[in-house]
Amino acid sequence: MFDALLTPPGDSRDALIAAMRHAAIGGGKRLRPLLLVTTAAMFQVDRTQAKRAAIAIEAVHAYSLAHDDLPCMDDDAMRHGKPSLHVAFGETIAVLAGNALQAFAFEVLSDPATSGDPFVRAELVQVLAQASGAWGMIGGQVMDIAGEGQSLDLPAVTRLQQLKTGALLAAAVEMGAVLGKVPPEGRSHLRRYARDIGLAFQIADDLLDSSGDEAKAGKALRKDAAAGKQTFVGLLGEDRAREQARLLSEQAIAHLGQHGQEADVLRALARYIVERDH
């Protein structure tokens, strides 16, 4: 569906569209779209509409990775086992394609094809914009950069990771519930689920960064230590970090207690997140 929405117009903008596709299509674990579509399915949301919202959140995730890889950021040459965006298309197009992917996300969400209910469309935009901006993902990225070479404690690292990675994962679950017209008070246990798997995901990421396989990851590893970044593994050690991730995964599953088998995929995702090897 990404494919159909990102069609080259047949003029000098084709490189832009190709760059957007390079960044957003055919790589990565698709965890955010999966969480969104799975949560939406619990509330009998039309699958095409859920997939459109999933494309929007993946576009935001993809733009953030593409910009993260820029020379003035982490300067990474590989992403998802292929050249990172600026290596493939140059820095200028990488910056612009990232910006265009962010606009694309909000264009898709605000389109009546994503929901016939304008309240749902506006709320989807609000949840994604809050989660990805200065008070969400980007705020966490800045905290992360500011923390380089600093001796952050566990609460500080938890807080920055909750913003940097957790906010968008929580948004994925919340957007599924928004599409299902679940009111805010009925979404709080899902937010708690998402908060816990978000942290578990980050701890698992830190574990993979410290002991994982670069070929499976499709990107350079062991960069956190080199950049002087404080991680969960650095603070807790590998064994306690692994145990903490497992506890968070169990706690996430416990938040789904009111749901029956319709939540089984969310439960499986909570387990997968801490058991994955890439």
What is the spatial distance between Cα 69 and Cα 92, in angstroms, rounded to a whole number? 13
Helix (H) or strand (E) run with residue 139 in it: helix 137-146
Q: Which residue has the tokens 């994982």?
A: 212
State the nearest-atom distance from the C-beta of 260 to its own copies, in Å. Answer: 32
With respect to its own copies, which residue has the nearer C-beta, 112 or 257?
112
Amino acid (one-letter) located at 35: L
The contact set with its own copies (CB under 8 A) reads: 6, 9, 11-13, 15-17, 20, 63-64, 67, 70-73, 91-93, 95-96, 98-100, 102-104, 106-107, 109-111, 117-119, 121-123, 125-126, 128-130, 132-136, 138-139, 141-143, 145-147
State the nearest-atom distance from the C-beta of 154 to its own copies, in Å. Answer: 16
With respect to its own copies, which residue has the nearer C-beta, 148 or 264?
148
Amino acid (one-letter) located at 155: P
State the nearest-atom distance from the C-beta of 68 to its own copies, in Å. Answer: 9
What is the spatial distance between Cα 206 and Cα 233, in angstroms, rounded to a whole number? 6
State the nearest-atom distance from the C-beta of 75 to its own copies, in Å. Answer: 11
What is the spatial distance between Cα 191 and Cα 173, in angstroms, rounded to a whole number? 7
With respect to its own copies, which residue has the nearer C-beta, 79 or 121?
121
What is the spatial distance between Cα 54 and Cα 178, in angstroms, rounded to a whole number? 12
State the nearest-atom distance from the C-beta of 175 to its own copies, in Å. Answer: 13
Other Cβ atoms less than 10 A from the Cβ of 169: the count is 29
Cα Rg of the chain, angstroms: 18
State the nearest-atom distance from the C-beta of 192 to its own copies, in Å. Answer: 23
With respect to its own copies, which residue has the nearer C-beta, 41 or 138?
138
Residue 116 exposed, middle or buried by CB count within 10 Å (0-12, 13-18, 19+): exposed
Amino acid (one-letter) located at 226: A
Task: Report the candidate in 232, 223, 97, 228 with the shortest Cα–Cα distance to residue 157.
Answer: 232
**Cβ–Cβ under 8 Å, residues 84 and 69:** yes
With respect to its own copies, which residue has the nearer C-beta, 123 or 209?
123
With respect to its own copies, which residue has the nearer C-beta, 111 or 262?
111
